[in-house]
Chains A and B, each alone.
Chain A
Amino acid sequence: MLLKILSVLAVAGCALALFSLERSPAAKSAAAPDVERGKYLVSFGSCNDCHTPLVMGPNGPAPDMTRMLSGHPQDLVLSSGPALEGPWGAAATHTLTGWSGPWGLSFAANLTPDKETGLGAWSAEDFIATIRSGRHLGRGRPLLPPMPVHYVNTLTDEDLRNVFAYLQSIPAVSNRVPQPVAPAQAR
């Protein structure tokens, strides 16, 4: 009888151990991306600097968090940048979402999960391919300055998945960012 009780306890112990292993942090991270870590990386990586438009407030320019990470405002239409002379190599709009330089005009992308205008139709693989290649969806047009893609590219696939998971968790904002404009000599 004692042997039987010990056997049952042993089996139960093994089951408990297996259950605990299954729910360990390592298993969790492999199974699902960590949204909180994604948020941490987005904050530390200063993504809001360019992807959230600035508005003028009582203390000067501040990010408009009602449009968090929604990119260059679609109603701020630009067709050309200012003439850059002397030491000036680039210029930005007051929102810090539109940029002008030798590459032409570039506009910060809408990173919110809006299906039509943001990343809502993207997969994590699309996001990783974009960062790794420096090209839209890994195969299209190049990402443009000032996007520091070479820095973001140092993140591991796991952290890029965490970043993407966070971006998919924030409020969707419908904002169709304009297409970049090539410099006149390349058109």
Chain B
Amino acid sequence: MNPNRLLSAALVALVTLGAPIWIALSAPRWTTHASSTPPATLAETGLYADARTLTVADGLLEFAPQYPLWTDGARKRRWIALPPGSAIDASDADAWRFPVGTKLWKEFAFERRIETRYMELGRDGRWSYATYAWQPDESSATLAPEGGVAAACESSRGALHDIPGRFDCLACHEASPSPVLGFSALQLSSERDPRAPHADARESGVTLDELVARGLVRNLAAELLDHAPRITARSAVERAALGYLHGNCGGCHNSRGALAELGLDLAWSFEHGSRTLATTLGTPARLQGNGLARQRLVAGAPSDSLLFQRLATREPYLQMPALGTHLVDVQARELIAQWIAELGRRERNSLAHGAAGTRR
């Protein structure tokens, strides 16, 4: 045993009280392979026409996905900028191809603006990621350290909010067929899901129809032009549940990304619809341990379903998503529990009908 290693572990642990903070601080610095060095300030990214008054630049499109990511109740605004004369190629409906120079911003606020995340597609075809931390007086935002900022502020309900490091950005954005999450045919469909948790109530953003009409999205399948995309499900609860899992889990857990080998697909796609049930219901859980459910999903039994257990906890080594949140999404927990209960009822009814049919 190397005594220096023991000493360093102990010292770091001693000076940092509280495990979650310790973990965040101990994350290694990511050796970035981004295509370019991000600008030093948010103003330099081109978000604002007037950074003094925070007037958003002309030509930027604000958007709001119908199944947004839960970030402990943060209020969010999002914008996209496409280079003049360019368009998004939607020939792969599940993985839109964005033109070089595309920029996206996502602003997070609790009591005030806290951070604005930024991504840009470079000339070499690689996305670069950055986060800008706002000054307490919201006068400006500057590039956050590569490793992020642990406990940058309190979220609206007393928990701590971490500004992500650059690798935290990569963790989710580079695990999906398209690194752009939340800007897709389903997310921008004009047929919005009324039960989707935390979706903006107001019509606050550009829709798929508008993008197509303006020629900013091309090569979209005719079927999607004729019928606004929506998740097909057996009930409104199921539709919202599948949508929530798509928006909050499907970025990593899909069939085409870095974690495809896990065989857990919580994303909804035009190619094959939802495979959530096919890859969870009655499927043994890979993660095993004391107190952990043995199956990914058990119809009618949320507490016996690992998917529910991990969504409903913020125990740091068990929670899902593994990063970006310290508070359970209570609304989503209720929705998923309701959906799992509904699956149980459907299963029982199916069995009862089967038995009745046999008796007849």
Residues of A within 8 A of B (CB): 46, 49-50, 79, 88-90, 92, 96, 99, 101-104, 121, 123, 125-126, 129, 132-142, 144-146, 148-150, 153, 176, 178-183, 185-187
Contacts and interface: CB of A to CB of B under 8 A. Distances in A.
Interface string B79-119: 00000000000000000000000000000000000000000
Contacts of A178: 289-290
Contacts of B288: 176, 179
Contact of A139 (B5, B10, B171): B171
Nearest to B326: A186
Contacts of B8: 148
B5 A146 contact: yes
B228 interface: no
Contacts of B201: none
A133 B171 contact: yes
A185 B317 CA distance: 13
| Chain A contact residues, majority secondary structure | loop
B192 to A, nearest CB: 29
Contact of B14 (A79, A92, A102): A102
A148 B259 CA distance: 25
Given A182-B318, A187-B315, 10 more contacts: A50-B1, A123-B261, A134-B27, A141-B317, A142-B23, A144-B23, A144-B317, A153-B31, A179-B292, A185-B19
A46, A101, A102: which has the most chain B beta carbons within 10 Å?
A102
Contacts of A141: 316-318, 322
A96 B300 CA distance: 43
B30 A139 contact: no
Given A46-B2, A132-B167, A102 B16 contact: yes
A178 B287 CA distance: 10
Interface of B: 1-2, 5-6, 8-14, 16-20, 22-23, 26-31, 167, 170-172, 175, 252, 258-259, 261, 287-290, 292, 315-318, 322-323
A176 B286 CA distance: 11
A186 B316 contact: yes
Contact of B26 (A134, A180, A182): A134
Contacts, number: 129
B98 to A, nearest CB: 22
B6 A90 contact: yes
Given A139-B252, A141-B316, A149-B28, A101 B16 contact: no
A31 B18 CA distance: 45
6 contacts: A92-B6, A134-B27, A139-B171, A148-B8, A182-B318, A186-B20
Nearest to A142: B23
A135 B317 CA distance: 10
Contact of A49 (B1, B170, B258, B259): B1
A104 B258 contact: no
Contacts of B23: 103, 142, 144
A178 B5 CA distance: 22
A84 to B, nearest CB: 9
B18 A102 contact: yes
B28 A153 contact: yes
Given A49-B1, A125-B258, A139-B322, A133 B30 contact: yes
A135 B322 CA distance: 9
A9 B16 CA distance: 72
Contacts of B175: 138-139
Contacts of A138: 170-171, 175, 258
Instruction: Sort A-B residue pairs by CB-CB distance and give the 10 closest, nearest first.
Output: A89-B10, A179-B289, A146-B9, A145-B9, A89-B14, A90-B10, A102-B13, A150-B28, A153-B28, A101-B13
Contacts of B10: 88-90, 101
Contacts of A50: 1
A96 B22 CA distance: 22
Contacts of B20: 186
Contacts of A90: 6, 9-10, 13
B258 A102 contact: no
Contacts of A142: 23, 26-27, 316-317
Contacts of B22: 102-103
A176 B28 CA distance: 26
Contacts of A79: 290
A137 B171 CA distance: 9
Contacts of A187: 315
